[in-house]
Amino acid sequence: MSSIMETVKGMLAKQLDMAEKDIKPESTVLSLGADSLDSVEFIMRIENAFNIEIQEEEIKQFRTVQNIVDYVSKSKN
């Protein structure tokens, strides 16, 4: 598992008060129980943790945990 995946899963687990092992790459943030406020806070944490800026229109592609990890990987390279 990539360090980005581990970080994203850890952040989601903390945000949603759940176990990391219950978060799969194919999980959607909504299926994990996130509401719109959770999603906004999570995006802000991603930006801070990885020192990236995520444009609002790009957030729509964040359907799964893997989509988020892929986006962060591309943004950092």
pLDDT digits (tens, 9 = 90+) for 55-75: 989 988 899 999 999 999 999
The residues that are catalytic are 35
* Closest C-alpha to 5, from 59, 33, 46: 46
> How far, in Å, CA of 17 to CA of 58, rounded?
26
The residues pairing with 64 across neighbouring beta strands, listed in sequence order, are 28
Sequence-distant (≥ 6) Cβ neighbours of residue 5 within 8 angstroms: 25, 65, 66, 69
- CATH code at 52? 1.10.1200.10
Residue pair 19/13 in contact (Cβ under 8 Å)? The answer is yes
**Mean pLDDT, the chain cut into blocks of 10 residues (77 residues total):** 92 96 95 92 95 91 94 89
> How far, in Å, CA of 26 to CA of 73, rounded?
17
Write down the pTM of the prediction. Answer: 0.88
- Number of domains composing the chain: 1
Domain that holds residue 47: 3-76
